[in-house]
């Protein structure tokens, strides 16, 4: 006599578990890709600490010179990169497209100098290290001694 146990509920349960774990792993990997954001600047120009509101004013083009008189040069990751998208949403509270439109509007109105956009953090750090007055947002500790981390609201990472 054959075993008459119905295997369909057991198979359905295992499919559910497989789906659940696949979904959980995908969700965790997306979160793992987000990096702690760090404000970085060339040693010449930017202050060692700022309030988040001051940083946003600088990065949105509301301010064009440091107290020292140096011109502010904004360096950002391209918004089509994962880090660039994270920065647009976390720092600017804008979608990548909104951030691009914001800067295009300022530049075409003559209200601000266009920021420099980069494909990699290494390129962004290189620009910041070589240009007095440059400021940017990175997803890692800077590799160059020519770059300083700006404390935002007393913290090393952006809140």
Per-residue model confidence as pLDDT tens digits over 102-150: 999 999 999 888 999 999 999 999 999 999 999 999 999 998 888 999 9
pLDDT digits (tens, 9 = 90+) for 50-88: 999 999 999 999 999 999 899 999 999 999 999 999 999
Q: Which residue has the higher pLDDT, 18 or 39?
A: 39
Q: Which residue has the higher pLDDT, 122 or 45?
A: 122
Secondary structure letter of residue 115 according to DSSP:
P
Work out the pLDDT band at 9, boundaries 50, 70, 90: low
Work out the pLDDT band at 33, boundaries 50, 70, 90: low
Around 136, how many Cα atoms within 13 Å sit in the side-chain half-sphere? 32
Q: Is the pLDDT of residue 2 over 70?
A: no
CB atoms within 10 A of CB 136: 27
Asked whether 50 and 152 are in contact (CB, 8 A), the reply is yes
pTM of the model: 0.77
Closest alpha carbon to 136 in 44, 147, 145:
147
Question: How many degrees, rounded to 5, is the angle at CA 52 between CA 67 and CA 116?
Answer: 70
């Amino acid at each position: 006599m054959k075993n008459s146990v119905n295997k369909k509920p057991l198979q359905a349960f295992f499919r559910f578990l497989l789906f659940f774990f696949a979904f959980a792993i995908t969700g965790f990997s997306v979160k793992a890709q987000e990096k702690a954001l760090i404000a970085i600047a060339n040693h010449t120009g930017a202050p060692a600490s700022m309030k988040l509101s001051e940083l946003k004013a600088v990065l949105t083009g509301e301010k064009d010179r440091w107290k020292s008189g140096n011109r502010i040069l904004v360096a950002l990751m391209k918004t089509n990169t994962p880090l660039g998208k994270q920065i647009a949403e976390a720092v600017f509270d804008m979608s990548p497209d909104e951030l691009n439109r914001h800067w295009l509007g300022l530049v075409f109105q003559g209200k601000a100098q266009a920021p420099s956009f980069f494909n990699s953090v290494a390129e962004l750090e290189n620009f910041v290290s070589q240009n007095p007055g440059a400021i940017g947002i990175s997803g890692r500790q800077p590799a160059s001694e020519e770059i300083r981390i700006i404390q935002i609201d007393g913290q090393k990472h952006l809140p």
